[in-house]
Structure 1
Amino acid sequence: MPRDPNIPDAFDVYTVVVLRRPADAPEMSDEDVHALQARHLAYRAELGRQGVLVVNGPFDQQSDPSYRGMSIFACDPAEAARLSDGDPSVAAGRLTYDVMEWWVSAGALAFPLADRAVGDRRSMPND
């Protein structure tokens, strides 16, 4: 069977983490939320300085308000999950996350601020 011409020959596979607010997130005072947010942002900024967090940011005007933000990591999904567990907002139960691999046509995205390779070049397996 010939290869489907709509499937790229190669993909760049990225590790993506999507942050969500869980339905059972603990209630906190505004002061505590602001302090936790500052620790969350500082933690993620440090991951960025280490080069493991390539790009991240919050969502706005999303169809599901529980979705809070997304990150692309320069590591495998298991390491991204381990690092996400260390996020103060995750540890406090205010955020949870989903980790996944995102397959994008090779060369479609670039990360000029990254100081290391991001993603893994792969081909779609033949079935």
Structure 2
Amino acid sequence: MDLYALRNYCLAKSAVTEELPFGPETLAFKVGGKLFALTGLEQPDLSVNLKCDPERAQQLRERYPDTIIPGYHMNKRHWNTVYLHDGILSDQQLEELIDHSYALVVAGMSRKVRELHGL
């Protein structure tokens, strides 16, 4: 998956916005104003930070130690940095990790906020 495909996949989800809250080199994807994916625009090796259930995050890190690591500049218990350049993970696996991150963020919203955003 390249940056273009990552961006299109994230933006195809309901109520998603893209922002540059950390400067012009970091693209953030939010649902209902809450971050679920974050990627650098000027990195030599494309990666994305994704929210993850803590137990699952640890399992993924053990299974893919060079591809999935604790989230860079994030809460390392709840976020993973996933490298996309090495081809270890298929596009389908990456999409599932993005879906998981999105679902966790939506699940953490109040019913009122979900309804406000049509989720």
TM-score under structure 2 normalisation? 0.32
Q: Which has the higher contact order (CA 8 A, sep 6+)?
A: 1
**Of Structure 1 and Structure 2, which has the larger fraction of its residues in helix?**
2
The higher radius of gyration belongs to 1
